[in-house]
Structure 1
């Protein structure tokens, strides 16, 4: 069973191809389509240079009856902000802090949209700031998040992630392609 559903053809343009998908056993909880227990987020580019994803949580992620656990909305926002920065900068980043403001609880079975934006520019050393918000079907913001992220080198990636040298090479090649664009 898919724990979180996403709708194809959201407002944005083309789907986002994340560099992690070059890994043969990619299992990210947030965005891997292969993780049967994950969120399976599907990002699309927005006209303003950000990314977005549609959301609809089922009861797998319930907190109070009929309410999505607040940690799930924070997870979605962290995932979308971090991936936006990776796409924008062409390097891996790690979250250093996040501030979340909840306006309304998310409801199980309701449709939402999460969008992320940043002013980060490739080549800057960081840390970088990104913003995310989750809006309901009426376009009202229900969650605001600001995150700070630190870029990491391939050597730091190797020390912090459980990846083989071949996997690091594959991801670095995919990131290099982003930097070349």
Structure 2
């Protein structure tokens, strides 16, 4: 497992262009190190980072760079799940990663705008500051609302590392 400091992916999607705010270069450097160590497959934990999946895979064709949304789509199809809710960062929603991966097989419901704002609050003011109680309140309220509104039994949690209690 390798972890490299990478600029905020959601912010980078809002402000395209070149510069230190872009995550691609640090991700490429980390991939290069893994390739040099003999890695053959790489899983990128950040869902939003998959907006750069194509560039990472193209730069390192010798590596299998797993695509999180496609892997989730395969698992859902295998399990016969045809409808889900998606809890994610603004960047993950904007990138359309899950919409593209799920479009053929699975109906994907997303939270309302105010709920997306609550998710981002839980991410930035909760998870990223270590206030997991706040994160849990935010995530659970959005998850419950989404699940009840659409009668869902399956939710995809495509947000930062967070461990449910």
TM over 0.5: no
Task: Give the structure with the larger strand fraction.
Answer: 1
Q: Structure 2 length as normaliser, TM-score? A: 0.30
